Amino acid sequence: MIVVFGSINLDLVARVPRIPAPGETVAGLSFATAPGGKGANQALAARQTGADVALYGAVGSDAFADAALANLAAEGVNLGGVVRVSDATGIALISVDAHGENAIAVVPGANVVARAEQVPAEALREGTTLLMQLETRMEEVVALAQRARARRARVVLNAAPAAALPEALLRNVDVLVVNESEAAACAAPLGLAYTPEDFALQIHARFGAVAVVTLGARGALACIGGDTVRATPPDIDVVDTTGAGDAFCGSLAAALDRGEPPRAALPAAVHAGALACTYPGAQRVARPGKGDPPSG
């Protein structure tokens, strides 16, 4: 069972010929809305590998809430832990250029109301995988990681967006996933090296966690049992990189939850992240038997 505690957004996506520079206005090519938020994206990605997934978070009581939850409901993610509050549903303003690269501004809204106490004790037990990110309050992420570790659940943290991480959090994480910029943000306050390989090795040495650094088109590396392991992605035609990291994290958590060792889980996660770049938006609803198999 995978328990996801995290953000739920509605993405407002503009396709543009290039990402605007500061102070510049660029004429857009198209506009669409789509469900998003790192918590929701990762919950959906894990579910699409066949995992049982329960999502805990918060949405508003506005018109965006149902749209933000639509894909999750369609794919069978348990939404009983999602509360509706008076704050507006979180949104992300996303510009995607002609090469599939993106620039994102997030307005968290209801996500700041999500609380660790929403996750009941019975959901955190040995054999459960808890997957979290940093689009909810840091103190809630720390509190839930501590509760989960005390109950012998596996704790997977995607430290995104980039932030300095409290040692109280790192000491309660089994698997840490960051990209290169997030690794740098985490490394500096801890006095660790910035290079991906050194960062992964030093996180593992100091905190005992499996440390994973995603490298974009170069795949990912991880420090597993003191060894550095790498995985490379397949060749793809990039449409949109939005959500690739979330697909990676959801697939990684699902593989670990079904008992695969980290060395086997890493290539599967890299493959899922690459596939996520081949379609627009952060989420894809995929139903077997209709020509569109689940990613990962």
The answer to whether the beta carbons of residues 183 and 196 sit under 8 Å apart is yes
Report the distance separating Cα 206 and Cα 248, nearest Å.
25
Could you read off the pLDDT of 147-189 as tens digits, one per residue? Answer: 999 999 999 999 999 999 999 999 999 999 999 999 999 999 9
Per the prediction, the chain carries an average pLDDT of 92
Give just the sign of the alpha carbon dihedral 90, 93, 98, 99. Answer: negative
Longest alpha-carbon distance in the chain: 52
Work out the pLDDT band at 275, boundaries 50, 70, 90.
confident
Report the distance separating Cα 295 and Cα 289, nearest Å.
14
Q: Which of 11, 174, 246, 257 is catalytic?
A: 246
Q: At 221, phi and psi to the nearest 5?
A: -130, 160
Question: Does residue 218 lie in a domain region?
Answer: yes
Question: Does residue 179 lie in a domain region?
Answer: yes
237 pLDDT more than 70? yes
The per-residue pLDDT for 104 is 84
Q: At 178, phi and psi to the nearest 5?
A: -140, 160
DSSP 158-212: E--S-----HHHHTT-SEEEEEHHHHHHHHHHHT---SHHHHHHHHHHHH--EEE
**Domain count for the chain:** 1
Could you read off the pLDDT of 203-234 as tens digits, one per residue? Answer: 999 999 999 999 999 999 999 988 999 999 88
Could you read off the pLDDT of 72-88 as tens digits, one per residue? Answer: 999 999 999 999 999 99
293 pLDDT more than 70? no
Work out the pLDDT band at 286, boundaries 50, 70, 90.
low
Report the distance separating Cα 270 and Cα 26, nearest Å.
33
Question: Does residue 44 lie in a domain region?
Answer: yes
289 pLDDT more than 60? no
Question: Residue 37: which of 75, 74, 70, 1 has the closest Cα?
Answer: 70
Give the rounded percent of residues in the chain with a pLDDT score beyond 90. Answer: 82
The per-residue pLDDT for 290 is 35
Place of tokens 């999502």: 55
Question: Does residue 230 lie in a domain region?
Answer: yes
Question: Does residue 32 lie in a domain region?
Answer: no
Over its C-alpha atoms, the chain yields an Rg (Å, rounded) of 18
pTM of the shown model: 0.89
66 noted as active-site residue: no
Place of tokens 């808890």: 130
- Token pair in block for residue 196: 């991906």
Question: Does residue 269 lie in a domain region?
Answer: yes
Question: Does residue 198 lie in a domain region?
Answer: yes
Which tops the pLDDT comparison, 9 or 242? 9
Could you read off the pLDDT of 92-106 as tens digits, one per residue? Answer: 898 989 988 888 888
CATH number of the domain that residue 217 is part of: 3.40.1190.20
Work out the pLDDT band at 294, boundaries 50, 70, 90.
very low
Question: Does residue 290 lie in a domain region?
Answer: no
- Print the domain residue range for 148: 2-8+37-87+112-278
